[in-house]
Structure formats: structure tokens, C-alpha cells
Structure 1
């Protein structure tokens, strides 16, 4: 490794530091040769040389010759070095990648240097998951992160945020100013935390499988199993519960999503699913379909459950729940109201 302390003694005129001498010799070599030498320096050494080059005084030819002799090599006699900052940038571009040059010259903060990889990884995540994470952050942080996401994915995340907060966050994003390096570093750390949570979520295949099994059961059976599991591990319950969606969970579904879902399901299935259901769930469903469909289903329900196989009711309810899960996975509806408000129709 090249060492600045090996450059020799003082020269005539204003004394040059060891880093000044290294910068002067690299500049004299020209970018073709100097660029090949850059790989022998550490990043810290390169940064020191860059700083020296940007403030380096004019080096007359005779002084340059003395510098060259110190290295015991033969160089073409220089004609005086001017515009050193631009020259050192040209040398760096010859031997390093654009990203490395930007980093060494301080053109981008550390946060921005990792920008592409961070945002590429984020846009592969579930928008609902990103939105839940962002709800724990300051609105200004949310605005900055949204501004950095690819437009199509950022729009999906924005729609997952509570409607009551969207206007404020959009306003902050529109008026977003330059972020200081210190603030950018703090945000970067939070983004890395988010990525870690995403990876942990992806690896939790066990909770997903248990949720899939429970989604095939009736509510009373699921409640019993969750209670049993909670007696052993509340953490496990917290991992499984958000992945469970049953017919009765239509009560906590946002009204707009509920309308989209139920108008996509045949009247026969809805009628069967509502047999024996509570008055609350019946009104929730019937208030979300067309008046004509409501009248037909209400008429059919007057017959009660006599002669109806309970298994057929369970199958119909599972069909509704599974369709809800399918549409949610496709990003067409939300399973739960993120604002926690009353989701039922007036």
C-alpha cells in the first residue's frame, strides 16, 4: 500500500504536505496512468488526496520535477498544474465507478448512495405492511420515504394509509425540501429496520400456514384455537391473528371494500352464508349489496335453516372469506379498516 510518509523531504517554496505531493504527482501523470494507480490507495487515502488536490497551489515545472525525482521515476516535465479540482475528478472517473466517484467527491450522502438498492427492495414488499410501518413514523419521515419510492408503488402505499392522514402527508411531500445528511442517515436507519421487518415477515412461513389452516375453520373453532395458543405464546398469536380472515370479519372490512367484494359473489352463496348468521352480520352484508339483490336474499332467508346442512353454510362462508383474501392479495380491497372506525353502512 502506498504510504504518504515515503514521499521525501521538504521542497522549495511553500511547503507541501505528503498528501499535496501525492496529489501533484497523480495530476502530472494524466488520468490514463493515474487512474490505474487508484486501486492501490485506501478510500481514506483517496479522500485525503482529493481534499489536497482541490486546494493545491500552482506547481511550477521545476518543483514538479523535484517531486517526481522523489519517487525515483521518470516523468514528462509538467507545465504547471491548474484547475486541480477538475483534473482530479477526471482521474477518478478513469479508475473508479461513477458511484465511487460520487461518494468520494461528496456529491451524494451515504443515504443516497444506497438509494437504489433500498427502494428496489422496498417495492417488492406488501403495500399494507409498508403502510403499517409508516404509521409509526413522523409524517415528515413518511413524506420523504414516499417521495423516494417508485411512483406506482408509492401510490399503492399512499392508498393504504388512513384517509385522514393522506392530505397532510401529500402536502408535506409536495413541499419537501432538501434533507440534511444527518437527517438522511436517521431515515436510512429506519428504512433498514423496515427491510429487516419485511425479511422477518417473509420468513415467517409457519404463521402463514397456521393462518391458512384456521381460515378453513368456523369462527368458534378459530377462537378456541387462538385462546389455546395464547396460553402458550402471545407472540405467536400476534403473528397469526392478522393473517386470519373469516366470514364474520366482514364487520371490520371498510365499506368500500365490502361493497366491491359482495357484489362479486353470487346471490346463492351469500344467501347460504347468511343462514343462521347474527342480525349484525346480516345487516352488514345486506347493506352492501344492491336493493334488488337484498330483497331477493331477504325473501329466501325467511325460510330459515330448516333442512339446511350446516356444512353447506360453512362452505359458503369460507367461499366468501377466501374471495376476500384473494382480492386483498391482488391489491383490490382492504380486509380491515386501517383507521379503526365504524365500517358499517349507515
Structure 2
């Protein structure tokens, strides 16, 4: 920190000491800004400044303006541009957001954006997929990753881990100490690998195309095609099946998601889709809509399917399924309960 003897000469009226001048400038800055600057003084300097502030005389505005100008000149001609740049950056980081500092300094923006987005990108993944990846890692690594994830997503990932390991991992997370930058970088590199796997899975053109084709078919046709595919490659079936959602799969959708799905689907589409549907599916859908809408749809369904083109029913059901897929891709609903997925995979 600067020596008080360098802080300039005397002003009119009662002369101010160098410590008086430092105290005056700090007081003029206000408590918030001055408080952030105090850490740049030594303990001895602070004691002198505090003593000066207690006996400081009233300073007229014009005299204070000269003091500030004198301080600015001294700061500019201080220990060197590089040291001053580091000090300025530290001061800016105390009072501004990282984005604002980046804008002023024009540095490190890309790296900081990378740092802040890595965990956001991870939380867009399927918790089950992340859990399968983490189970191969050391418990301390898992604990660190869970501590960095948003709480809601981290809880879902934790439930995907084996029961026998959860207590140990939670204990490590609770007692997590500061991680060294080197260790953190190693773990984050592993997370980057995981994100790469997730992106590769999401962007698998072949898998997505097959799933899209099957989503245009009826359930019996899809079951036949999946059986044929499984005879060649069970791994391929495991990649395609999670991306398939048909009207009949509404049975496996969580009730809360069903309510959100049918909240914006027109009543005539719902009515058409339910014509000829099994009672189990009909009840699952009707239980997710308002009592008034349910009465109207049930009244329309009483006429049965006589005179209705089967193709119109298929189109309506496909519209419902496609809307469900759209909302799921947007993260607004879940297509299937976890237990239902497991039972389907076992079937």
C-alpha cells in the first residue's frame, strides 16, 4: 500500500496530515465503497486513519475536490500499471457482477461463461443416465459433483445411486471441504466427458429417426418392430425405447404431467382420441381434466365410434402423443414413471 508521506502537500486553513487526507477521501466515498478498500491498508495504516477520522475537521467541498484529484494523481503514478490493474480488478470484483467486470476489462468472459454453464448443461440430462455414469466414480468425486448441481436435479441423481452408497455419499457431501483448483479441474474434465456422452446420445441421428418413425405408428406395430430389432441388437432397443411415446403410454405418465398435458389440448381432440380407447386409458385421461370438461367429453363419447373415421382417431391420438413429447423435451413434464420404465424394459 502507498506511504502516507507521498500523499501530497498542505491545503489552506488548518493543514491536513497525510492520514487526515486518506481518512477524508475514504469518508467521502461512503461506507460501502470505503469498506471494500480498507483491506488494501496495513493494520498500522488503519489505526492511524481511524484516529485521524475521529478528530477530522469539517472539509469544504472545494477542498475535498482537490483532495480527490490529488489522490487520483497519486494512484495513477503509483507502483506500476500492472500492479494497479490487478488492484483495480480486485476492487471491481468486490462491487460488480462477473459479467460487469468482464464487460469493463474485456477478459476471461469466455472462460467464466464456460465455468458457469457446465453444471447447467449437465442438469438437462436424464438423472438415470447421470447416475449410471457417477456410480463408476469415487464417492468423493460423486459428492463434489452433487454439491455443484442444482438441488432439485442433484436429489434426482442421488436417488439413482445404489442404496448401499447413498449414506456415505451424503455424508461426504455434508462434510465437503474446499476442493483444490487442480482436483476441481480433474473432476470437471470428467463432467465434460459425461456431457459429451449425453450430447452424443441426444444427437444420435439414427436413434432419433427410428423413434420418430415408430411414434407415427400404432402400438401393435411398434411392439412388432421392437421385437424384430431386439432379435438383432438389444442395445439398439434400449436406445430407441426411451424416445418412443405413444398414446397408450399415457397410462405410465405421472398424474401431474397428465394434468399439464391436457390443460392446453382442445376438447374435440381429446374426445376424438378417446373414442374406442380402453377404459383404463379413458379414465387416466378424464381424471386429468376439469369436472366440467369431463362431463362434456363423456357426453360426446356416449355416441361411440359409429360413423367416425378410424384415421381421424389415429390422427388425434398422434397429436396428443406429439404434444406430450414436445412438453417433455422442454422439460415441463415427465413421459413415464421410473417404475413403469423398468417394467417395460423387463417385459
Question: Taking structure 1 as the reference length, what is the TM-score of the superposition?
Answer: 0.55
Aligned partner of residue 135 in structure 1, secondary structure? helix
Distance in 1, matches of 2:171 and 2:286, equals 38
Decide whether aligned partners of structure 1 residues 170 and 293 sit closer, same or farther in structure 2, where only a CA change above 3 A counts: farther
Conservation of the 8 A alpha-carbon contact between 2:272 and 2:316: yes
Tell me by how many angstroms 1:333 deviates. 1.1
1:237 is aligned to 237
1:120 aligned partner? 117
| Alignment check: 8 A CA contact 1:161 1:338 kept | no
Look up the match of 1:303.
303
2:193 paired with 1:197: no
Per-residue Cα deviation, 1:131-151 (whole angstroms, up to 9, x for no partner): 2233334687555324335xx
Distance verdict in 2 for CA 1:341–1:141, change over 3 Å: farther
Comparing 172-181 and 120-129, the one that deviates more: 172-181
Match of 1:284 in 2: 284
Asked if the contact 1:246–1:318 (Cα under 8 Å) also holds between the matched residues in 2, the reply is yes
1:209 paired with 2:205, answer no
Structure 2 spans left out of the alignment, 5+ residues:
1-81, 87-110, 162-166, 343-347
Q: How does 1:153-232 map to 2 (within 5 A)?
A: 154=150, 157-158=153-154, 176-179=176-179, 187-188=187-188, 190-232=190-232
Higher helix share: 2
Q: CA deviation at 1:115?
A: 9.3
Q: 1:171 to 1:309 in 2, by over 3 A?
A: farther
Residue aligned with 1:127, SS? coil
Partner SS state of residue 336, structure 1: coil
Cα deviations by residue, 1:111-165 (Å, 9 ceiling, x for unpaired): xxx9975763553457243x2233334687555324335xxxx367348658899
Name the CA shift for 1:121/1:178 in 2 (closer, same or farther; >3 Å): closer
Q: Secondary structure at the match of 2:338?
A: coil
Flag the 1:173–1:292 CA change in 2: closer, same or farther, 3 A. farther
Q: Which residue does the alignment assign to 2:269?
A: 269
Alignment correspondent of 2:89: none
CA contact (8 A) 2:286 2:294 kept: yes
Cα offset, 1:234, TM superposition = 1.2
Aligned residue pair count: 227
Higher relative contact order (CA 8 A, sep 6+): 1
**Normalised TM-score (structure 2):** 0.55
Aligned to 1:134: 130
Counterpart contact for 1:128–1:160, Cα < 8 Å:
no
CA contact (8 A) 1:128 1:157 kept: no
